Structure 1
Amino acid sequence: MIELIRSAIVTILTIASPVLLVAMGVGLIISIIQATTSIQDQTLTFVPKILAILGVLALLFGWMITRLTAYTTFLFERIPDLAG
Protein backbone atom coordinates (compact mmCIF):
# COMPACT_ATOMS: atom_id res chain seq x y z
CA MET A 1 0.00 0.00 0.00
CA ILE A 2 2.83 2.40 0.83
CA GLU A 3 4.44 1.60 -2.52
CA LEU A 4 1.24 2.67 -4.30
CA ILE A 5 1.12 5.97 -2.44
CA ARG A 6 4.81 6.62 -3.05
CA SER A 7 4.51 5.88 -6.77
CA ALA A 8 1.40 8.08 -6.97
CA ILE A 9 3.26 11.02 -5.44
CA VAL A 10 6.27 10.47 -7.71
CA THR A 11 4.01 10.26 -10.77
CA ILE A 12 2.14 13.44 -9.81
CA LEU A 13 5.34 15.38 -9.22
CA THR A 14 6.92 14.07 -12.42
CA ILE A 15 3.95 15.09 -14.54
CA ALA A 16 3.25 18.44 -12.88
CA SER A 17 6.80 19.72 -12.44
CA PRO A 18 7.57 20.71 -16.07
CA VAL A 19 4.43 22.83 -16.29
CA LEU A 20 4.97 24.41 -12.88
CA LEU A 21 8.64 25.14 -13.53
CA VAL A 22 7.88 26.81 -16.86
CA ALA A 23 5.13 28.92 -15.29
CA MET A 24 7.46 29.93 -12.48
CA GLY A 25 10.28 30.77 -14.89
CA VAL A 26 8.08 32.85 -17.17
CA GLY A 27 6.59 34.65 -14.17
CA LEU A 28 10.06 35.40 -12.84
CA ILE A 29 11.28 36.74 -16.19
CA ILE A 30 8.19 38.91 -16.63
CA SER A 31 8.54 40.20 -13.05
CA ILE A 32 12.17 41.16 -13.68
CA ILE A 33 11.16 42.96 -16.87
CA GLN A 34 8.37 44.76 -14.99
CA ALA A 35 10.76 45.79 -12.22
CA THR A 36 13.35 47.16 -14.62
CA THR A 37 10.81 49.10 -16.68
CA SER A 38 8.72 50.23 -13.67
CA ILE A 39 5.54 48.75 -15.15
CA GLN A 40 3.17 47.89 -12.30
CA ASP A 41 0.41 46.12 -14.23
CA GLN A 42 -0.39 42.85 -12.43
CA THR A 43 -2.28 41.36 -15.36
CA LEU A 44 0.76 41.51 -17.66
CA THR A 45 2.07 38.12 -16.51
CA PHE A 46 -1.07 36.13 -17.33
CA VAL A 47 -0.87 35.97 -21.12
CA PRO A 48 2.80 34.89 -21.34
CA LYS A 49 2.27 32.32 -18.59
CA ILE A 50 -0.80 30.87 -20.30
CA LEU A 51 0.98 30.71 -23.66
CA ALA A 52 4.04 29.07 -22.08
CA ILE A 53 1.90 26.52 -20.23
CA LEU A 54 -0.05 25.69 -23.38
CA GLY A 55 3.23 25.26 -25.26
CA VAL A 56 4.63 22.91 -22.63
CA LEU A 57 1.39 20.92 -22.56
CA ALA A 58 1.42 20.66 -26.36
CA LEU A 59 5.03 19.44 -26.36
CA LEU A 60 4.78 17.04 -23.43
CA PHE A 61 1.20 15.78 -23.74
CA GLY A 62 2.23 12.46 -25.29
CA TRP A 63 4.83 11.84 -22.60
CA MET A 64 2.35 12.75 -19.85
CA ILE A 65 -0.28 10.37 -21.22
CA THR A 66 2.32 7.60 -21.49
CA ARG A 67 3.33 8.09 -17.85
CA LEU A 68 -0.29 8.14 -16.66
CA THR A 69 -1.13 5.06 -18.71
CA ALA A 70 1.87 3.20 -17.28
CA TYR A 71 0.83 4.15 -13.75
CA THR A 72 -2.78 3.09 -14.38
CA THR A 73 -1.57 -0.25 -15.74
CA PHE A 74 0.62 -0.64 -12.65
CA LEU A 75 -2.41 0.02 -10.42
CA PHE A 76 -4.61 -2.49 -12.23
CA GLU A 77 -1.87 -5.12 -12.03
CA ARG A 78 -1.66 -4.57 -8.26
CA ILE A 79 -5.40 -5.08 -7.59
CA PRO A 80 -5.06 -8.85 -6.97
CA ASP A 81 -2.23 -8.24 -4.50
CA LEU A 82 -4.35 -5.79 -2.54
CA ALA A 83 -7.38 -8.09 -2.42
CA GLY A 84 -5.58 -11.04 -0.93
Structure 2
Amino acid sequence: MFSNFGLGEILVIGFLALLIFGPERLPKAAGDAVRVIRQLRSMATSTINDVKADLGPDLAELDLKSMHPRHLIQKAILDDEPTPRKE
Protein backbone atom coordinates (compact mmCIF):
# COMPACT_ATOMS: atom_id res chain seq x y z
CA MET A 1 0.00 0.00 0.00
CA PHE A 2 2.79 2.41 0.85
CA SER A 3 5.10 1.22 -1.92
CA ASN A 4 4.85 4.58 -3.70
CA PHE A 5 5.92 6.52 -0.61
CA GLY A 6 9.48 6.87 0.54
CA LEU A 7 10.63 7.27 4.11
CA GLY A 8 10.76 11.05 3.72
CA GLU A 9 7.15 11.29 2.58
CA ILE A 10 5.93 9.07 5.38
CA LEU A 11 7.79 11.18 7.96
CA VAL A 12 6.32 14.40 6.52
CA ILE A 13 2.80 12.94 6.63
CA GLY A 14 3.35 11.79 10.22
CA PHE A 15 4.67 15.20 11.23
CA LEU A 16 1.73 16.99 9.60
CA ALA A 17 -0.72 14.61 11.28
CA LEU A 18 0.94 15.33 14.61
CA LEU A 19 0.60 19.06 14.03
CA ILE A 20 -3.01 18.85 12.87
CA PHE A 21 -4.38 16.43 15.46
CA GLY A 22 -1.96 16.90 18.32
CA PRO A 23 -0.38 14.17 20.41
CA GLU A 24 -3.57 13.57 22.42
CA ARG A 25 -5.95 12.97 19.48
CA LEU A 26 -3.54 11.38 16.97
CA PRO A 27 -3.94 7.75 18.20
CA LYS A 28 -7.75 8.01 18.04
CA ALA A 29 -7.63 9.61 14.57
CA ALA A 30 -5.29 6.87 13.32
CA GLY A 31 -7.57 4.18 14.76
CA ASP A 32 -10.60 5.78 13.12
CA ALA A 33 -8.78 5.90 9.78
CA VAL A 34 -7.88 2.21 10.05
CA ARG A 35 -11.51 1.30 10.84
CA VAL A 36 -12.77 3.26 7.82
CA ILE A 37 -10.24 1.57 5.52
CA ARG A 38 -11.22 -1.87 6.84
CA GLN A 39 -14.92 -1.09 6.32
CA LEU A 40 -14.27 0.08 2.75
CA ARG A 41 -12.29 -3.07 1.97
CA SER A 42 -15.04 -5.21 3.49
CA MET A 43 -17.70 -3.43 1.44
CA ALA A 44 -15.64 -3.83 -1.76
CA THR A 45 -15.11 -7.54 -1.10
CA SER A 46 -18.80 -8.00 -0.33
CA THR A 47 -19.78 -6.20 -3.54
CA ILE A 48 -17.41 -8.32 -5.63
CA ASN A 49 -18.80 -11.51 -4.06
CA ASP A 50 -22.39 -10.35 -4.68
CA VAL A 51 -21.65 -9.55 -8.33
CA LYS A 52 -19.97 -12.94 -8.83
CA ALA A 53 -22.93 -14.69 -7.19
CA ASP A 54 -25.40 -12.80 -9.42
CA LEU A 55 -23.45 -13.71 -12.56
CA GLY A 56 -24.11 -17.36 -11.95
CA PRO A 57 -21.89 -20.45 -11.94
CA ASP A 58 -20.59 -19.89 -15.48
CA LEU A 59 -18.93 -16.61 -14.58
CA ALA A 60 -18.30 -17.18 -10.87
CA GLU A 61 -14.58 -17.58 -11.44
CA LEU A 62 -14.31 -14.34 -13.43
CA ASP A 63 -11.04 -12.54 -12.74
CA LEU A 64 -11.87 -8.84 -12.65
CA LYS A 65 -8.21 -7.85 -12.89
CA SER A 66 -8.04 -9.47 -16.32
CA MET A 67 -10.72 -6.99 -17.46
CA HIS A 68 -8.48 -3.98 -16.79
CA PRO A 69 -8.05 -1.95 -20.01
CA ARG A 70 -4.26 -2.20 -19.82
CA HIS A 71 -4.46 -6.00 -19.75
CA LEU A 72 -6.97 -6.11 -22.59
CA ILE A 73 -4.92 -3.83 -24.85
CA GLN A 74 -1.66 -5.58 -24.07
CA LYS A 75 -3.22 -8.96 -24.77
CA ALA A 76 -4.78 -7.74 -28.04
CA ILE A 77 -1.70 -5.97 -29.36
CA LEU A 78 1.07 -8.22 -28.14
CA ASP A 79 -1.00 -11.39 -28.14
CA ASP A 80 0.68 -12.08 -24.84
CA GLU A 81 -0.26 -12.19 -21.20
CA PRO A 82 0.68 -8.98 -19.35
CA THR A 83 3.30 -9.07 -16.67
CA PRO A 84 1.77 -8.63 -13.21
CA ARG A 85 2.19 -5.20 -11.65
CA LYS A 86 2.95 -4.63 -8.01
CA GLU A 87 0.08 -2.69 -6.45
Compare the two structures and name the one with the higher helix fraction: 1
Q: TM-score range by the shorter chain?
A: 0.3 to 0.5
RCO (CA 8 Å, sep 6+): is it higher in 1 or 2?
1
Instruction: Give the TM-score, by structure 2 length.
Output: 0.33
Q: Which protein has the larger Cα radius of gyration, Structure 1 or Structure 2?
A: 2
Instruction: Give the TM-score, by structure 1 length.
Output: 0.34
